[in-house]
Amino acid sequence: MMRKWLLSLLLAIPAFVSADDYLLSTPHTSMLFEGTKGQSLHFCYYGDRVAPDEAGQVRAAGLYTYADAYPVFGYGYNPEPALQVVLPDGQLALQLVLDSVERRAVDGGELLAFTLRDTKFPVCVKLNYKAYQDLDVIEMWTEVSHEMKKPVVLQQCASGYLPLRGTEAWLSHLYGNWGAESFLQQEPLTTGMKVIKNRDGVRNSHTRHAEVMVSLDGKPDERSGRVVGAALCWGGNYNLRISKESGGNYDFLAGIDNLGADWHLERGEVFRTPELAVTFSPQGLGQVSRNFHRWARATHLAHGDKLRDILLNSWEGVYLAVDEGKMKSMIKDIADLGGELFVMDDGWFGRKYKRDRDNAALGDWEVDTAKLPGGLKALTAEAAANGVKFGIWIEPEMANTHSELFEAHPDWIVCPEGREPLPGRGGTQLLLDLSNPDVQDFVFGVVDRLKTACPDLAYIKWDANMSLTSYGSSYLPADRQSHLYTAYHEGLLNVLRRIRAKYPDLVMQACASGGGRANYGILPYFDEFWVSDNTDALQRVYMQWGASYFFPAMSMASHVSASPNHQTGRRIPLKFRFAVAMSARLGMELQPSAMSEKERAYSRRAIADYKTIRPVVQMGDLYRLVSPYDDKGVSSLMYVAPDGREAAFFAYKLQHFLSQEWPAFRMDGLDPAAHYRLTELGLPEGARPVGVSGKVFSGRFLMNEGISLPLSGEYASCVLRLERVD
Ligand code: GLA
């Protein structure tokens, strides 16, 4: 009893480095603040770890920033604000000073929280920083509340602010579009402000991403240079601002986008922003990616400690022409090829309105018994008989105008009062208003009813093919319409929390017209995301490379599809298609009955080979070796198991020219003193492996000199398994 009391007392005492330094550390990073009660709190440093007794060094070396820890609008030097409010009497100015500091142990680490108060009005801002004890990530978020009779309007409320020290910083971020998501862009940060926004309302990663890296020492490099990574954990509209002012420092702010999103904060209500997760390494982009991957698997991805099943998805195989016979034969096919899960995509539901085209039946999540007379039971039984699991596609946030749901609940649609909703896909798709608790119950019920009727349902592909285009809610009161963008996502998170509480083992994929939901706001509830509707293996090399900056391989659904590819028309050999999909979460998305016996035999071998490297691909550390963006005609990456005993290496030929040259592939992440046997995987029957296959090399040699690969022929590829032999 006594010891517990003493411990909580010790934890409650701020860990003073000097009178008012507050240091927060992870195994390899530190963040330092300085503040005195009644005065501004300052953010001093974020970078390489410093021991508590070394914090003074940061100041002595002149390496500190002296910015307000959370800049606010209106009273003082007017920096780019993290917080901007309208107070009940119309005033805009705030002046925040430090009131109290709390430091305590929390799950997985330590929380340092500063309570700031306005000097005139009862407005309170709590800045939270959570450091993990064994992950190099700090999560920050902000809570705002007040004690005034009338609401305070939050016009801008960033999750966090990070001042960065550097003079030649470069930004790495992802951009794209439908079918071309997660392309990498790297650019110098020049004077002025770079703003990265999303305003789709529902999906947020087709065109830009809520994650960035900033290389502080010049051009980005995989293995060297100080790099800060930041990921805003939010599935809705966002706004990342990075500005370089004179004086050499960079200011970084990230939060929910403020367009049409004023939040009216009631007395006593706490507005809690999404988390902003930040990480740092002096060892280049690669280590920052590995930090994100480890953190995601441990904290921000459902079942991050479990290997993913190899699946067949029906979409590109049959599109909407689902029927019992085809589904049963696909189940048998994936079992025969060595897969573990079959997923029936769109087309299985609708009674009054048929899902024969993409313009009807969303919302009516009842089996179309004309297509599937035996219902889901017949399919789960077929799956069980073949030793595979069964999964299904839903799009539960949506309705079609041609649906029984819309007929019964026209008021559940997102739409401004008195206007016609602007429909999306098929000319009839509408968005349900998740700010409405009745709609939340309905969406939860979609999953709940499916799981109740079909307890064997192991996997759900949760799609979202619509933006928030007709802004308005018949649930929210007239003076709270501006809550919709935020309330929609709070409502979605509420539903997802309920699903996870009741069905903790259910595997779920976040799909949103392909890669529209690759973000850490929703990934804690999902096992993976669909990287793109584009399954062209060549384009996937570029997209998966970009996505790998922030997301671990186990979260990236990557499917082998037909050739010619349905999106690009490109013809790519099956070996290359497998080699690309095997570098992430392998699946197939084609009609196996259309494959030749030779192709089926190859698929069986490749799937069996993938199983041997699945743990290292899905749980290992990623090392990017040759970037497809460097235009060398080849690309290469590898994964190394946490215990260093195994690795998996991938190389792809992206261009095909006569007398082409490319560099030796220098590996990374291995133990220099260890020896590794290399074995080529994914070889067609009877094919000769590459020369290095079967040979043993030291880790040092593989990393310093590398290996040369023939890569002859168009779309050549090479997958190697490395096993430590000593
Ligand atoms: C979206 C998804 C696809 C597929 C279709 C079904 O486009 O991204 O993978 O599920 O919907 O309609």
Atom of ligand 1 nearest to the CA of 533: 8
Q: Whose CA is nearest to atom 11 of ligand 1?
A: 513
How much is the pLDDT for 249? 87
Backbone CA torsion sign across 164, 114, 83, 90? negative
CA atoms of 454 and 445, how far apart (whole Å): 13
Atom of ligand 1 nearest to the CA of 513: 8
340: Cβ below 6 Å to ligand 1? no
How much is the pLDDT for 182? 98
Window from 55-69, 165-179, 417-431 with minimum mean pLDDT: 55-69
Query: How many CB atoms are located within 10 Å of the residue 288 CB?
Result: 28
Residue found by looking up tokens 């099956």 in the block: 574
CA atoms of 115 and 143, how far apart (whole Å): 9
How much is the pLDDT for 76? 87
Is the model's pLDDT at 564 over the cut of 70? yes
Pairing, β 276-281 against β 227-232:
antiparallel
Is the model's pLDDT at 14 over the cut of 50? no
Give the distance (Å) from ligand 1 centre to CA of residue 392.
12
463: Cβ below 6 Å to ligand 1? yes
Residue 150 phi/psi, 5-degree rounding, is -95, 160
How much is the pLDDT for 53? 87
How much is the pLDDT for 54? 87
Residue found by looking up tokens 């008989």 in the block: 385
Backbone CA torsion sign across 421, 425, 428, 434? negative
315: Cβ below 6 Å to ligand 1? yes
**Residue among 304, 218, 187, 293 nearest 669 (CA):** 293
How much is the pLDDT for 11? 39
462: Cβ below 6 Å to ligand 1? no
Instruction: Extract the tokens encoding 26.
Output: 């992870």
User: What does the pLDDT average to over 452-461?
Assistant: 97
Q: Residue 721 belongs to what H/E stretch?
A: strand 717-724
Give the distance (Å) from ligand 1 centre to CA of residue 719.
30
533: Cβ below 6 Å to ligand 1? yes
579 CA to centre of own chain: 23
Rounded alpha-carbon distances, angstroms, from residue 485 to 140, 147, 414: 22, 25, 11
pLDDT digits over 374-396, tens only? 999 999 999 999 999 999 999 99
Is the model's pLDDT at 597 over the cut of 90? yes
Q: Do residues 244 and 189 touch, judged by C-beta distance below 8 A?
A: yes
How much is the pLDDT for 7? 38
Backbone CA torsion sign across 514, 518, 521, 525? positive
pLDDT digits over 661-700, tens only? 988 999 999 999 999 999 999 999 999 999 999 999 999 9
Give the distance (Å) from ligand 1 centre to CA of residue 299.
28
Ligand 1 site-directed mutation target among 311, 320, 345, most atoms within 8 Å of CB: 345
* Confidence tier at 66 by pLDDT (50, 70, 90): confident
Instruction: Establish whether the linkage from the previous residue to 81 is cis, with ω within 30° of 0.
Output: no
Ligand 1 site-directed mutation target among 343, 348, 460, 465, most atoms within 8 Å of CB: 465
pLDDT digits over 316-334, tens only? 999 999 999 999 999 999 9
Strand ranges inside 403-555, DSSP E: 429-431, 457-462, 507-510, 528-530
How much is the pLDDT for 613? 98
Instruction: Extract the tokens encoding 164.
Output: 């960065």
34: Cβ below 6 Å to ligand 1? no
346: Cβ below 6 Å to ligand 1? yes
| 3-class secondary-structure state, position 427 | helix
The DSSP string of 649-709 is EEEEE----TT-----B---SS-TTSEEEEEEESPPTTPPPPTTTT-EEEHHHHHHT-B--
How much is the pLDDT for 707? 98
Q: Do residues 511 and 526 touch, judged by C-beta distance below 8 A?
A: no
Which residues lie below 8 Å from residue 414, measured CB to CB, with a gap of 6+? 421, 430, 431, 432, 433, 468, 470, 471, 472, 473, 484, 488
pLDDT digits over 638-671, tens only? 999 999 999 999 999 999 999 999 889 999 999 9
* Confidence tier at 292 by pLDDT (50, 70, 90): very high
Is the model's pLDDT at 12 over the cut of 70? no
**Residue among 694, 702, 688, 686 nearest 721 (CA):** 694
How much is the pLDDT for 370? 98
Ligand 1 site-directed mutation target among 205, 311, 313, 315, most atoms within 8 Å of CB: 315
53 CA to centre of own chain: 37
CA atoms of 508 and 492, how far apart (whole Å): 14
How much is the pLDDT for 5? 34
User: What does the pLDDT average to over 552-560?
Assistant: 98
Stated pTM of the model: 0.96
Ligand 1 site-directed mutation target among 463, 528, 543, 558, most atoms within 8 Å of CB: 463
pLDDT digits over 84-97, tens only? 999 999 999 999 99
How much is the pLDDT for 19? 46
* Confidence tier at 437 by pLDDT (50, 70, 90): very high
CA atoms of 370 and 558, how far apart (whole Å): 32
181: Cβ below 6 Å to ligand 1? no
Is the model's pLDDT at 589 over the cut of 50? yes
Q: Whose CA is nearest to atom 7 of ligand 1?
A: 513
How much is the pLDDT for 62? 84
Q: Do residues 711 and 718 touch, judged by C-beta distance below 8 A?
A: yes
Pairing, β 41-48 against β 29-35:
antiparallel
Is the model's pLDDT at 6 over the cut of 70? no
Q: Count H helices, E strands: the chain? A: 13, 36
Q: Whose CA is nearest to atom 2 of ligand 1?
A: 513
| 3-class secondary-structure state, position 15 | coil
Q: Whose CA is nearest to atom 1 of ligand 1?
A: 513
Provide, rounded to the nearest whole percent, the portion of the chain with pLDDT above 70.
Answer: 97
Helices (H), 421-483: 437-453
Q: Residue 55 belongs to what H/E stretch?
A: helix 55-60
User: What does the pLDDT average to over 357-372?
Assistant: 98
Is the model's pLDDT at 499 over the cut of 60? yes
User: What does the pLDDT average to over 215-228?
Assistant: 97
Is the model's pLDDT at 354 over the cut of 70? yes
Name all contacts of 95-99 with Cβ < 8 Å and 24+ positions apart.
95/119, 95/120, 96/40, 96/41, 96/68, 96/70, 96/72, 96/125, 97/37, 97/38, 97/39, 97/40, 97/41, 98/35, 98/36, 98/37, 98/38, 98/39, 98/40, 98/41, 99/37, 99/124
Is the model's pLDDT at 83 over the cut of 70? yes
Give the distance (Å) from ligand 1 centre to CA of residue 590.
14
Is the model's pLDDT at 308 over the cut of 60? yes
Give the distance (Å) from ligand 1 centre to CA of residue 499.
22
Provide, rounded to the nearest whole percent, the portion of the chain with pLDDT above 90.
Answer: 93
pLDDT digits over 187-204, tens only? 999 999 999 999 999 999
CA atoms of 364 and 362, how far apart (whole Å): 6
Helices (H), 236-367: 284-295, 315-318, 324-337
DSSP for residue 537: H
348: Cβ below 6 Å to ligand 1? no
How much is the pLDDT for 79? 85
Is the model's pLDDT at 13 over the cut of 60? no
pLDDT digits over 123-153, tens only? 999 999 999 999 999 999 999 999 999 999 9
CA angle (625, 630, 635) in 5-degree steps = 45
How big is the chain by its Cα radius of gyration, in Å? 27
